[in-house]
């Protein structure tokens, strides 16, 4: 299946993000560990090329989480994710 690893990471990211949101009242150390897990997954996503709409949707979710402020990926990861999507779209264009 095309984009299989990207889609798998997308499922992992969505779960990590949901877990993190459930910890909003948790101890700082617990929340920081959850955020680190989410950031790690998003960081891996940005390096995988998307060749399907489903793969692009994974990257779009990662970007939306960044820009929605739910996860503090930092401006570097935000830009890298956005540029990754642009590169993938350009590669798919005829």
Residue 28 structural domain: 4-92
CA angle 84, 78, 38 (to 5 degrees): 100
Count of the separate structural domains present in the chain: 1
**Which of 65, 54, 68, 63 has the alpha carbon at shortest distance from 86?**
63
CA within 13 Å, CB half, 6: 25
The conformation of residue 49, written as its DSSP 8-state character, comes to P
Block means of pLDDT (10 residues each) for the chain, 94 residues, are 94 91 84 85 90 92 69 66 83 79
pTM above 0.85, yes or no: no
Which pLDDT score, from 0 to 100, does residue 54 have? 94
Which pLDDT score, from 0 to 100, does residue 68 have? 57
Which pLDDT score, from 0 to 100, does residue 9 have? 97
Which pLDDT score, from 0 to 100, does residue 74 have? 61
Token output for 71: 């996860």
């Amino acid at each position: 299946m095309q984009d299989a690893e990207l889609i798998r990471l997308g499922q992992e990211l969505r779960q990590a993000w949901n877990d993190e949101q459930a910890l909003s009242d948790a101890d700082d150390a617990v929340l920081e560990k959850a955020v680190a897990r989410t950031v790690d997954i998003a960081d891996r996503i940005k390096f995988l090329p998307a060749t399907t709409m489903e793969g692009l949707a994974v990257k779009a979710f990662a970007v939306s989480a960044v820009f929605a402020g739910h996860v503090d990926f930092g401006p570097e990861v935000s830009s890298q994710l956005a540029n990754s999507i642009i590169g993938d779209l350009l590669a798919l264009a005829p």
